[in-house]
Each structure stands twice: as C-alpha cells, then as structure tokens.
C-alpha cells in the first residue's frame, strides 16, 4: 500500500526514530507523544484495523506484543509499568488505518482511559 504512511515508514521510505525492528514489525516513536515513552508498533504487513485480522495473523499479533515488551525494556519502563493500546476505527481514535499498537510509559496512567 504505497499511500499508507505506516507502510512507507516500515519500508524505510519515510524516516522515523526506530526503537525496534525485525522482519515482521517495526516500532518507532510517535510524532505526537502522550507520554515520555510513546512508541507505535506496526506490522510490516498492511492490515487496516483489528476488524481485518484473520486467524493467520495470530502469530503476527503475538510478535507485536513481544516487540512492545522489547520497547519497554529498551526505554526502561518495563519494571515501572507501561500500557499497550490498539484503537479500532474512528470512534476509538484510530486516525491511521494501518494496524498499530501504542506503547505508553514513563508516567502514571489513569483508569478508565479516554
């Protein structure tokens, strides 16, 4: 998907501050952070929303969570705590329609969110 900004970031076409990457996912700093650690974990495969996942994507989603764990360790928030968030569609706050997980940490989080 050449018009998708996250596909272009994942391919290296658009520069970003990469925190972690492997053959399946790339994790980069959010341009509009809402916490000291705010990293987006994006699959290299284009999937628009959580609703578009298929059973064959189960391993990929697991890899996204493993990447989030690595990001938390890299940024030093694994022990103090961090939050992972998927937003699905506009009413939930999804603005880029390429599946992505937010990893937020470095400050106290409130509940409920939003």
The question of whether 100 is a catalytic residue gets the answer: yes
- The string of DSSP letters for 65-99 reads HHHHHHHHHHHT-TTT-EEEEE--SGGGT--SSS-
The upper half-sphere exposure of residue 85, i.e. CA atoms within 13 Å in the direction of its Cβ, equals 19
> H or E element: which one contains 39?
strand 37-43
Task: Spot the catalytic one: 34, 38, 100, 102.
Answer: 100
Spatial contact of 106 and 81, defined as CB atoms under 8 Å apart: no
Catalytic residue IDs: 100
């Amino acid at each position: 998907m050449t018009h998708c900004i996250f596909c272009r970031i994942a391919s290296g076409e658009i520069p970003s501050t990469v925190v972690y990457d492997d053959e399946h996912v790339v994790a980069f700093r959010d341009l509009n952070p809402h916490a000291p650690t705010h990293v987006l974990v994006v699959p290299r495969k284009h999937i628009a929303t959580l609703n578009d996942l298929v059973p064959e994507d189960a391993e990929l989603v697991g890899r996204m969570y493993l990447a989030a764990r690595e990001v938390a360790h890299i940024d030093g928030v694994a022990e103090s705590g961090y939050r992972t968030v998927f937003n699905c569609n506009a009413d939930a706050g999804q603005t880029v329609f390429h599946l992505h997980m937010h990893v937020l940490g470095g400050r106290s989080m409130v509940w409920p969110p939003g």
